[in-house]
Amino acid sequence: QACAEANVYLISPFVGRILDWYKKQTGKTSYPADQDPGVISVTNIYNYYKQQGYQTVVMGASFRSVEEVLALAGCDRLTISPDLMAELQSSEAPIEQKLKDKN
């Protein structure tokens, strides 16, 4: 919220780093994408910024899996590693937009 109120152009929450922290703290070794703490955090940030009408761009980054990327499809921007991008490009499955600006 502080970034948006300061008119920061872009924020880049690190999905994978949030997940890494939760794994270390809980001892849990895996999370499905819909329960991934990093995905949940970025989804919450995105939805809050959009609901409040903030113009700050949300750019998810530091992904650990294609599932995380797909769970955040529709985010303003995503920073995707070459390996994950290649994996996405090799798939013929349709990509469903998960995040939508409802305002």
What are the tens digits of pLDDT across the range 41-70?
A: 999 999 999 999 999 999 999 999 999 999
Tokens of 37: 């703490």
Q: Report residue 77: phi and psi, to 5°.
A: -145, 155
What are the tens digits of pLDDT across the range 11-20?
A: 999 999 999 9
Domain boundaries, the chain: 2-90
pLDDT tier at 102 (50, 70, 90 boundaries)? confident
Letter for the amino acid at 21?
Answer: W
* CATH number for domain 2-90, candidates 3.20.20.70, 3.30.1490.120, 1.10.275.10, 3.90.1150.200: 3.20.20.70
